[in-house]
Every structure is written in structure tokens, then in C-alpha cells.
């Protein structure tokens, strides 16, 4: 059945007239539509609901659980360290302090917030001087951002240019007092001279950037050694006067550098510039080459500096990798020598077992730089928002900061660090062993280069040479065995370590201790065997036996097992921690085989004896004149006198 469509045709539309009278309901709808469109163009700012629960600020503060686990150091949040200047990170220009304190305890939260509110009310529109509250037993950092804390800027000149940048950014914030805190030690004489020579350049650059800076920038000169000296009672804007004061600074030959005592005195003296309506920024720039002799003062001084909103900077040396003692080349009374000074370590405690390299060519561990400053000096820079500027970047140890960012030290308070050690036997064993080896080194019992050449023109000569070589090495072998026993208990908990720095340090130290144990045991066994049954030369004219590294382990299955384990651990360091100091040292240990083999040689001992006799005769001729002899004896006595304390 067909259906009739209800849709009108074009013919119907033309035929029927259109009704142009608009109904009243349609007119009303159109009017309301216009009103709605008009209302859409009106914007209202809606404030917070005063009754909303999340907007209420109460006086009740939640109690925090202060277990050590809450303060875990998060290296993932730490920016890279490196050799380049990274402006805007952890510097004055960034407006962000270099240290983040993520957990506050009890009423300290409320007091900290209240203090920040008061500061913002006093100076409207200015960035807060410091976002770090006062440290106490319960206020420990969860993570430390060290971007800018350790920077290599190209020596003293580059470091001072970096400080010029920091001062300029401080002046953009508010008037600034710069306190130059100089180590008065004799070893810093040249450094002080370099800095004063650039004073005019520093302040000249500031004047060029802002001709009115002299009205807002004041300088104080302070020196320290055993005591603290304020060379101008009031900060001055007379740069020529400040330069003169540094140039005339006397030397402190006590050998004592109380750097934290000096910092505490500076904070106390210039705290007044941080109060009132005419507040100043205060920047403390320490210049030194040692870590200081009053480390126990660091916590208190750092808390005072943070509370006062003062930033601490250091223009100083890098710390030797994993060691307390560094060296400075020094000229005294016509003699040149390397003098030991306290420059490290870069960690709370030493975390690398310092062992000699036997039969391996390369630089000693004592000459490798960590690329960071000493723990205590670096930490106070981090906590106050300053920077540790490294001036000596010539030593071995320049590693890619993109890699090293995952291997930063633990900058938490020492008490938390020590508690953490007790929770892992591998960490504890590593630190305890490192400290024991340090004492061993100080006792001068180190054996660096065993004798490898043995005269054997007669069996008696060979036995005598072998016996003499064994005297020191036998005792050293026993000591190395003790080191292995100290590290061994930590192996079971090594897998629980999460931080790559600790894993690399434990594996390297244990692997190197095992390698040295294998080398010394094999060395002694081969010498003992040679004494009992001297080997026969294959060549008629040979008269000397020489021990050389070999892949062939001739010292028995026990030593072979130690070699295998040492190789596995050191190879793991190379594979898992490529591009780090630990991998570099592990690769150096693996560079030569850990076994020994005898190689026969021919030496002309008669010619060697004649040469020695001729040398002695020449000495006698030179000393024939009595005056020359006395002069030589005097020079020898001077050379043997105690080294200066720097």
C-alpha cells in the first residue's frame, strides 16, 4: 500500500501564503536568549571558600616520624656536577637554594612558615634570602641538590669571574655585604696575591654593569688561621683600602686552620645587616686550600648561617679521591717538596680502601682528584645556597658530569650517615677497613714496589736476595690478609646496597684487596720455592732471575681461586660503573696479570760495581775541600729538618 509523504513540495510552498505574525512565546524566548548571551560576557573572580576545609590554617602541627629512613639521600634529584659553569642552577640568579630540606619536625614547621611570611611582608616583591630553615637534630635533609655546589671554572680567574656574577645578582636583589674570608697560611700567599690583583677587575666589572653599585656594595676583609682577625671593623666601599688590607695580611705559621670558627664569628658579627627595614644580603667567600681543623663546629655554624640567611662560598682546592691527605708543592729555604695537607675526603668518612698498585703502571691514588670539595666545606655551601668553586682542575680525575651525577656523596648530617652505615654490613666493613688502612699508611708501613730483580750468579747470592726481599713483604702479606677478612663479611649484604657509589666503592676495594693478596701470596711462594730449589738457567750466560706478571698462576689452587674472584669483582666495576673513578682504578688493577713467572736475564755486575765506585770517588773529590764538605753537610741537615706546617 502506498504512503502519502508529509513533506511539502516546492509547489505547495509557493501556493500557500507565509504567516508573518510572530507569536508572543517566540518573542519572549528571543529576549531571554539575548539576556543570556549578555551575561556570558561578564567575568566574576571567585575567591576561596572561607568554609572550605583545605583553606583553613590551624595551629595544630602533625607529628612526624623521624626515622632515619625518612631522610634517604635521593641522588636522582641531584643535578649534575661537572667542569662547566652552569648559571642559574643553585646560584643566586636562580632564586633557589642549592640544598633542599624536605622534612621538618614538630613546631619547627610553623616557625619556619611564620618566619618566611614575616620576611615577605617586610620586603614586598623580593625573593626570599634562603628557603632553608634552621637545622636541628630533627631537621635533616631528604635530598641535597648540588647543582652549582661543586663547579670547576678554570682556576682562580674563572672562580672570581663566577663570584662577580653571583655578587651582581645579589645586588639586583638588595644591597650586599661581601665578606672575604682568607686563610692566612703561608701556602695561600700566592692565592691571596692572585685575588687582590683581580679585585679591581671584579669591582670594575660590577661598576660597568651598574654605576651605582658602590652605594649598595660593601666589602669586609677577614683572615683566619689559629685565630680570627677582622682587618676592617666596618665593611667599606673603598676597594683600594680592601686590596691593601689583603696584601698586608700577615702569615699564620701555626699550621692550624680554624675555618668554621672563623665562619661562626663572621656570621655573628654581620648578622645585624640581616635585620631591619634596610636589610642587606651577606655573602661570605672563603679562600683556603684545606678542609679545616675544627670540623666539629660545622653543624652549629651552618645552622647559624642558614638562620641568618647568609650564603657561604668557597674558592678552594678539590678533595683527593677517597683520601684525607692531599699534597701541595712547596719551596722552602731553597728546597722543593710535596707537603701533605688535609684536603679531604669528599665524603664523611673515607669510602675507598687505599692500596698500592703492584706491578701496575699509572698514577697513584693519592694524586687522583675527586672533582668535589671536602665534605664539610661543600656541605655548608649546599645548605646555605652557596657554591664550592674548584680552582685546581689540573689533576687526574676529570669525569663526565652526566655520569657522575649518579655518584654524588651523601651530604646528610654525619650522625645520620653513621646510623645508615650500621644497617648494611658491606658499607660498615668498607668504612672501617678504609679507616684502618689510613692508620696503616700513617705508620709508614706501606710497601709500594717489591724487588723484582734477583742476582743469581751463585745460589748463595740468589738466596740472600730472595730473603731480603721477603722481609717486608711477608708482614705486608699478613696485613693484606687482614684487610680481606675485614671486607669479606660485607659481601652477603652488598646486593642490598641501592646507591651506585657504595656498590662501586665496595666492589673496587674488595676486588683490589683480593688482587693484592694474590700478588703478595704468589710473590712470596715463588721466592720461597726458589730459595729451597734454585732454578737452572736455560742459557749459559744468564746470571739474573726477574719476576714478571703472568697469567699463569704458579702459586697453587688457593691463589688461583683468589685471582678468579678478584677478576670478577673488578670486571663488574668496569662494566657497571663505566666513566667513573672506580672503573678507572679497577681497569688499572686489571691491566697486568696477577700471577708471576721467572724470566732469566744477563746483567753485567762488574760494570755496575765499577760505576758505583767511580760515583763514590767523584763524591770524595768534590768533598776534598773542607769548606765544600761542611756546606754539603749543612745542606743535608737542612734537607732533613722537619717540613713546614702549611
Residue ending a domain, choose from 410, 443, 477: 410
Angle at CA of residue 234, ends 232 and 237, nearest 5°: 90
Q: Is 154 left (phi over 0), alpha (psi -120 to 50) or beta?
A: left
Which residue in 379, 222, 228, 184 sits closest to 295, CA to CA? 379
- At 370 the pLDDT is 83
Give the range of the structural domain holding residue 189, as residue numbers without chain letter.
148-319+369-410
The torsion angles phi and psi of 274, rounded to 5 degrees, stand at -100, 5
Q: Are 369 and 343 in contact (CB under 8 A)?
A: no
For 156-174, b where at least 16 C-beta lie within 10 A, e where not — what string?
bebbbbbbbbbbbbbbebe
The grid coordinates listed for 468 are: 731480603
Residues 593 and 625 in one domain: no
Angle at CA of residue 182, ends 200 and 414, nearest 5°: 135
Residue 446 maps to a domain: yes
Listed in order, strand segments (DSSP E) in 377-504 are 388-390, 453-455
Pairwise CA distance, residues 402 & 82, whole Å: 8
Q: Are 551 and 595 in contact (CB under 8 A)?
A: yes
Residues 404 and 512 in one domain: no
Residues 452 and 382 in one domain: no
Reported for 492-500, long-range contacts at CB under 8 A and 24+ positions apart, including other chains, are 492/425, 493/424, 493/425, 493/426, 494/426, 496/424, 496/426, 497/424, 497/426, 497/427, 499/73, 499/75, 499/410, 500/75, 500/406, 500/407, 500/576, 500/577
Q: Are 430 and 509 in contact (CB under 8 A)?
A: yes
Q: Are 143 and 73 in contact (CB under 8 A)?
A: yes
Residue 207 maps to a domain: yes
Give just the sign of the alpha carbon dihedral 578, 581, 584, 586.
negative
- At 530 the pLDDT is 93
- At 138 the pLDDT is 30
- At 178 the pLDDT is 94
Residue 431 maps to a domain: yes
Residues 465 and 380 in one domain: no
Angle at CA of residue 160, ends 157 and 166, nearest 5°: 150
Q: Which residues of the chain have pLDDT under 70?
A: 1-154, 209-214, 328-337, 359-366, 393-398, 439-448, 616, 618-646
- At 33 the pLDDT is 61
Residues 232/237/241/245 CA torsion (nearest 10 deg): 40
Q: Are 225 and 257 in contact (CB under 8 A)?
A: yes
pLDDT digits (tens, 9 = 90+) for 42-51: 544 444 433 3
User: What's CA 538's distance to the chain center, in Å?
Assistant: 55
Q: Give the residues across from 314 on adjacent strands.
A: 286, 388
Residues 526 and 622 in one domain: no
Q: Are 144 and 100 in contact (CB under 8 A)?
A: yes
Residues 397 and 429 in one domain: no
Residue 500 maps to a domain: yes
Pairwise CA distance, residues 152 & 85, whole Å: 7
Question: What is the C-alpha end-to-end distance of the chain, expressed in Å?
Answer: 118
Residues 466 and 582 in one domain: yes
Pairwise CA distance, residues 303 & 490, whole Å: 35
Q: Is the peptide bond before 60 cis (omega within 30 degrees of 0)?
A: no
Residues 537 and 618 in one domain: no
Residues 398 and 430 in one domain: no
Residues 591 and 627 in one domain: no
Pairwise CA distance, residues 181 & 612, whole Å: 54
Residue 49 maps to a domain: no
For residue 301, give every residue at least 6 positions away whose Cβ sits within 8 Å of its Cβ, in sequence order, or none: 260, 261, 263, 264, 267, 380
- At 472 the pLDDT is 76
Residues 374 and 446 in one domain: no
- At 3 the pLDDT is 44
Q: What is the CATH number of the domain that holds 242?
A: 3.40.50.410
Q: Which residue has the cell 732469566?
A: 600
Pairwise CA distance, residues 302 & 260, whole Å: 9
- Whole-Å CA distances, 637 to 8, 333, 640: 128, 12, 5
Query: What is the number of structural domains in the chain?
Result: 3
Residues 216 and 313 in one domain: yes
- At 71 the pLDDT is 33
Residue 62 maps to a domain: no
The grid coordinates listed for 465 are: 736476595
DSSP 495: G
Amino acid at each position: 500500500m502506498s504512503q502519502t509523504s508529509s513533506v511539502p513540495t516546492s509547489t505547495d510552498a509557493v501556493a500557500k501564503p507565509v504567516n508573518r505574525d510572530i507569536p508572543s512565546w517566540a518573542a519572549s524566548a528571543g529576549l531571554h536568549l539575548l539576556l543570556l548571551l549578555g551575561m556570558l560576557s561578564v567575568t566574576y573572580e571567585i575567591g576561596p571558600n572561607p568554609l572550605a576545609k583545605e583553606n583553613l590554617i590551624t595551629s595544630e602541627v602533625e607529628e612526624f616520624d623521624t626515622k632515619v629512613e625518612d631522610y634517604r639521600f635521593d641522588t636522582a634529584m641531584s643535578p649534575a656536577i661537572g667542569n662547566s659553569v652552569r648559571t642559574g642552577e643553585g646560584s643566586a640568579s636562580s632564586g633557589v637554594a642549592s640544598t633542599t630540606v624536605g622534612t621538618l619536625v614538630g613546631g619547627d614547621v610553623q616557625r619556619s612558615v611564620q618566619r618566611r611570611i614575616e620576611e615577605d611582608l617586610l620586603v614586598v616583591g623580593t625573593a626570599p634570602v634562603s628557603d632553608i630553615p634552621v637545622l636541628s637534630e630533627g631537621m635533616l635533609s631528604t635530598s641535597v641538590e648540588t647543582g652549582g655546589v661543586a663547579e670547576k671554572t678554570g682556576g682562580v680567574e674563572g672562580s672570581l669571574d663566577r663570584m662577580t656574577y653571583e655578587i651582581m645578582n645579589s645586588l639586583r636583589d638588595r644591597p650586599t655585604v661581601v665578606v672575604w674570608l682568607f686563610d692566612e697560611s703561608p701556602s695561600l700567599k700566592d692565592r691571596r696575591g692572585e685575588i687582590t690583583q683581580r679585585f679591581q677587575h671584579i669591582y670594575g666589572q660590577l661598576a660597568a654593569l651598574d654605576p651605582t653599585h658602590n652605594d649598595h656594595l660593601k666589602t669586609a676583609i677577614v683572615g683566619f688561621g689559629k685565630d680570627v682577625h677582622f682587618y676592617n671593623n666596618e665593611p667599606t666601599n673603598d676597594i683600594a683600602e680592601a686590596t691593601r688590607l689583603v696584601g698586608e695580611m700577615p702569615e699564620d705559621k701555626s699550621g692550624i686552620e680554624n675555618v668554621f670558627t672563623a665562619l661562626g664569628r663572621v656570621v655573628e658579627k654581620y648578622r645585624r645587616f640581616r635585620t631591619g627595614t634596610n636589610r642587606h644580603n651577606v655573602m661570605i667567600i672563603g679562600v683556603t686550600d684545606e678542609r679545616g681543623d675544627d670540623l666539629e663546629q660545622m653543624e652549629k655554624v651552618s645552622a647559624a648561617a642558614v638562620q641568618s640567611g647568609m650564603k657561604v662560598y668557597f674558592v678552594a682546592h678539590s678533595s683527593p679521591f677517597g683520601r684525607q691527605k692531599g699534597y701541595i708543592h712547596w719551596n722552602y729555604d731553597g728546597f722543593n717538596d710535596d707537603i701533605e695537607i688535609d684536603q679531604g675526603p669528599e665524603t664523611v668518612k673515607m669510602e675507598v680502601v687505599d692500596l698500592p698498585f703492584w706491578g701496575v703502571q699509572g698514577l697513584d691514588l693519592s694524586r687522583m682528584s675527586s672533582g668535589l670539595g671536602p665534605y664539610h666545606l661543600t656541605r655548608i655551601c649546599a645548605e646555605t645556597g652557596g657554591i664550592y668553586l674548584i680552582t685546581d682542575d689540573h689533576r687526574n680525575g676529570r669525569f663526565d658530569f652526566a655520569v657522575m651525577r649518579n655518584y654524588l656523596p651523601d651530604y646528610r648530617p654525619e650522625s645520620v650517615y653513621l646510623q645508615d652505615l650500621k644497617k648494611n654490613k658491606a658499607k660498615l666493613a668498607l668504612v672501617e677497613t678504609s679507616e684502618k688502612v689510613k692508620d696503616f699508611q700513617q705508620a709508614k708501613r706501606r710497601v709500594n714496589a717489591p724487588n723484582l730483580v734477583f742476582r743469581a750468579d751463585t745460589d748463595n747470592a740468589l738466596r740472600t736476595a730472595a730473603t731480603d726481599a721477603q722481609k717486608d713483604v711477608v708482614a705486608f702479606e699478613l696485613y693484606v690478609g687482614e684487610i680481606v677478612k675485614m671486607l669479606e663479611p660485607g659481601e652477603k649484604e652488598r646486593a642490598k646496597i641501592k646507591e651506585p657509589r657504595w656498590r662501586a666503592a665496595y666492589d673496587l676495594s674488595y676486588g683490589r684487596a683480593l688482587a693484592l693478596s694474590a700478588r703478595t701470596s704468589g710473590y712470596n711462594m715463588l721466592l720461597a720455592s726458589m730459595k729451597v730449589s734454585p732454578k737452572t738457567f736455560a742459557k749459559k750466560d744468564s746470571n739474573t732471575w726477574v719476576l714478571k706478571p703472568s697469567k699463569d698462576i704458579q702459586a697453587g689452587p688457593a691463589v688461583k681461586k683468589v685471582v678468579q674472584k678478584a677478576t670478577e669483582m673488578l670486571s663488574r666495576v668496569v662494566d657497571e660503573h663505566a666513566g667513573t673513578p672506580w672503573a678507572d682504578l679497577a681497569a688499572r688493577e686489571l691491566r697486568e696479570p696477577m700471577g708471576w713467572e721467572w724470566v732469566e736475564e744477563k746483567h753485567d755486575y762488574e760494570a755496575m760495581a765499577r760505576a758505583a765506585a767511580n760515583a763514590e770517588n767523584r763524591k770524595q773529590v768534590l768533598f776534598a775541600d773542607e769548606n765544600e764538605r761542611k756546606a754539603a753537610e749543612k745542606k743535608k741537615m737542612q734537607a732533613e729538618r722537619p717540613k713546614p706546617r702549611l
